[in-house]
Amino acid sequence: MTGRSTWARRSICCGADALGRTLRLLGLATLLVGLVPVVLPLSASTLASVLEGCSVNEAGSTGCILFGRSINGPMAASYRLLWAIPPGLLLALIGFFLLLAGWGIRRTETRRAKHR
């Protein structure tokens, strides 16, 4: 026993737990935001391949009709994010490491709690 009260041990644990939870949430949000510029053009290409007569590329889109409405504008807009793919991947990598740090804090606290 280190001489600390039970309350002091709990406050240290909960502080680290809150930090770990915050890092995990921040990391997950950063990871998801970073992957958006990658996912949108890929999903537009996939949807264009499913729709008959639809063509999408960097220049624009033609013939994309879904549920009776033209979706040429939104399909072409996703390709305007191509410039954001490298920064998005960097942001996703930062988010992954934040998520990993949050998991590490949680694992450390769990391991410490087992040895008390």
User: Quick one: pLDDT at residue 89?
Assistant: 95
Within a domain: 57 = yes
Domain that holds residue 85: 6-114
Q: What is the largest CA-CA distance in the chain?
A: 75
pLDDT tens, position by position, 86-114:
999 999 999 999 999 988 887 776 666 66
How many CB atoms lie under 10 A from the CB of residue 52? 7
The model's pTM: 0.68
Within a domain: 1 = no
Span 14-27, average pLDDT: 81
Within a domain: 106 = yes
Give how many domains the chain has, as a whole number: 1
Q: How confident is the model at residue 115 (pLDDT cuts 50, 70, 90)?
A: low
Within a domain: 28 = yes
| DSSP bridge pairs for 56 | 61
* DSSP string over the chain: --S--HHHHHHHHHHHHHHHHHHHHHHHHHHHHHHHHHHHHHHHHHHHHHSTT-EEETTEEES-EETTEE-HHHHHHHHTTGGGHHHHHHHHHHHHHHHHHHHHHHHHHHHHHHT-
pLDDT tens, position by position, 41-88:
888 888 888 888 888 888 777 888 888 888 888 888 888 888 999 999
Within a domain: 79 = yes
